């Protein structure tokens, strides 16, 4: 978490890691329930909407687990009286980890844009939805999202190869994005990529938002249920846009805040990690998973089944204890 400036003391390090671990653990458990439910029901796997949704959930789980691992790895067990030392990772290992994290972080907003387009087709072009939005095309879109997200992350590594000797990959570094990719070429590359991806996602969500809004107004008088569904979709698009903005604006926001208050660098980085990386990963799956009637029903049935299976086992254990006594 901290590359320069004041380091966290033992108390601060423990508190921050406990908070991060607790939140990430809860989110991983919730998302894990959605993933388990998805793979237990064949109907979900035949619907492109749920295919894109579960990819978003799995991608966020990978990103959260990697981010938490990187944060915890930033603190070593050797502590001085006043500060917490930082764990030095090999540059090659750090590059691989950052490659995964940067790719998954860009996957989420692109996946949300794809889900927005799918909902637009379902509401505004319902007769064509079954032909346009297929499971095969959903898988192809997921592959394209990974390629588009992976290329900018790989370019970051190529810039290091072009500007520094190969021996640098055997050195130990503080594994933090701003510390690793700190040349002027990295800054220009990051600014261009973030601007292009943000513009694409922003325009995609805005266009689908306006199209769905027009459709919702057109059917309000004749089909209230369709209008209600359309309005709910518009609300989801607004939340999607907020999540996308947080993802793309994060580097510039953190740079501005750290520059203005360098003495509070660790608190700024930790707070931004929670509000930009962690909490949105809880909000998005809950919006889609809990709100969706089909998903909610399947989760309830699944856990009721698990509970019923657990009750006889618990009863048999109590009876065996009574007999032994």
CB 238 within 8 A of CB 209: yes
- The confidence score (pLDDT) of residue 310 equals 65
**Under 8 Å between Cβ of 274 and 19:** yes
Confidence grade of residue 144 (pLDDT, cut at 50, 70, 90): very high
pLDDT: which is higher, 244 or 325: 244
- 187 vs 1: which has the higher pLDDT: 187
Residue 25: band (very low, low, confident or very high) from pLDDT cuts 50, 70, 90: very high
Centre a 10 Å sphere on the Cβ of residue 104 and count the other Cβ atoms it contains: 23
Q: Is the pLDDT of residue 44 over 80?
A: yes
130-159 average pLDDT score? 94
Domain locations in the chain as residue ranges? 10-290
Please write the tens of the pLDDT for every residue from 245-259: 677 777 778 778 878
- Can you tell me the mean pLDDT for 270-286? 79
Say which residue, 245 or 165, is predicted with more confidence.
165
Spatial separation of the C-alpha atoms in residues 84 and 81, rounded to whole Å? 8
Give the model's pLDDT for residue 158. 93
Q: What is the 3-state secondary structure (H, E, C) of 258-322?
A: HHHCHHHHHHHHHHHHHHHHHHHHHHHHHHHHHHCHHHHHHHHHHHHHHHHHHHHHHHHHHHHHH
Lowest model confidence (mean pLDDT) among 17-21, 24-28, 307-311:
307-311
Q: Provide mean pLDDT across the span 149-166.
A: 91
Cα separation, 53 vs 41, whole angstroms: 14
Confidence grade of residue 177 (pLDDT, cut at 50, 70, 90): confident
Does residue 291 surpass a pLDDT of 60?
yes
Rounded Cα distance between 212 and 206, Å, is 10
Mean pLDDT confidence for 150-177: 86
Q: What is the pLDDT of residue 195?
A: 86
pLDDT given for residue 79 in this prediction = 44
Higher pLDDT, 267 or 132: 132
- Average pLDDT of the chain, as a whole number: 79
Please tell me the predicted confidence (pLDDT) of residue 313: 56
Is the CB of residue 59 less than 8 Å from the CB of residue 104? Answer: yes
Tell me if 201 sits within 8 A of 244, measured CB to CB: yes
Task: Tell me the CATH number for domain 10-290.
Answer: 1.20.1070.10
Per-residue confidence band for 152, with pLDDT thresholds at 50, 70 and 90: very high
2 exposed, middle or buried (CB, 10 Å; 0-12, 13-18, 19+)? buried
**CA gap 273, 41 in Å, rounded:** 34
What is the number of other CB atoms lying within 10 angstroms of the CB of residue 190? Answer: 19
């Amino acid at each position: 978490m901290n590359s320069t400036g004041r380091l966290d003391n033992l108390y601060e390090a423990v508190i921050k890691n406990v908070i991060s671990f607790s939140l990430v653990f809860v989110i991983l458990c919730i998302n894990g329930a959605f993933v388990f439910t998805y793979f237990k029901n064949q109907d979900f796997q035949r619907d492109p909407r749920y295919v894109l949704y579960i990819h978003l959930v799995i991608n966020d789980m990978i990103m959260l687990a990697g981010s938490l691992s990187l944060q915890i790895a930033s603190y070593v067990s050797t502590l001085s009286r006043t500060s917490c030392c930082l764990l030095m990772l090999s540059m090659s290992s750090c590059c691989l980890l950052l490659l995964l994290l940067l790719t998954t972080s860009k996957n989420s907003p692109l996946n949300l844009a794809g889900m927005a387009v799918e909902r637009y087709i379902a509401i505004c072009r319902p007769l064509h939805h079954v032909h346009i939005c297929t499971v095969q095309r959903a898988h192809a879109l997921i592959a394209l999202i990974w390629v588009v997200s992976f290329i900018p992350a790989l370019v970051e590594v190529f810039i290091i190869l072009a500007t520094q000797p190969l021996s640098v990959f055997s050195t130990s570094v503080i594994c933090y994005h701003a510390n690793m990719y700190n040349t002027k070429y990295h800054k220009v590359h990051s600014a261009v990529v973030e601007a292009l991806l943000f513009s694409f996602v922003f325009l995609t969500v805005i266009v689908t938002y306006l199209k769905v809004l027009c459709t919702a107004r057109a059917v309000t008088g004749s089909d209230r249920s369709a209008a209600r569904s359309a309005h709910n979709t518009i609300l989801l698009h607004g939340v999607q846009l907020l999540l996308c903005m947080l993802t793309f604006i994060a580097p510039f926001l953190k740079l501005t805040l750290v520059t203005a208050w360098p003495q509070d660098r660790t608190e700024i980085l930790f707070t931004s990690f929670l509000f930009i990386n962690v909490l949105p990963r809880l909000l998005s799956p809950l919006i889609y998973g809990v709100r969706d009637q089909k998903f909610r029903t399947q989760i309830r049935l699944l856990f009721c089944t698990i509970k019923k299976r657990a009750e006889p086992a618990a009863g048999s254990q109590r009876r065996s204890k009574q007999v032994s006594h």
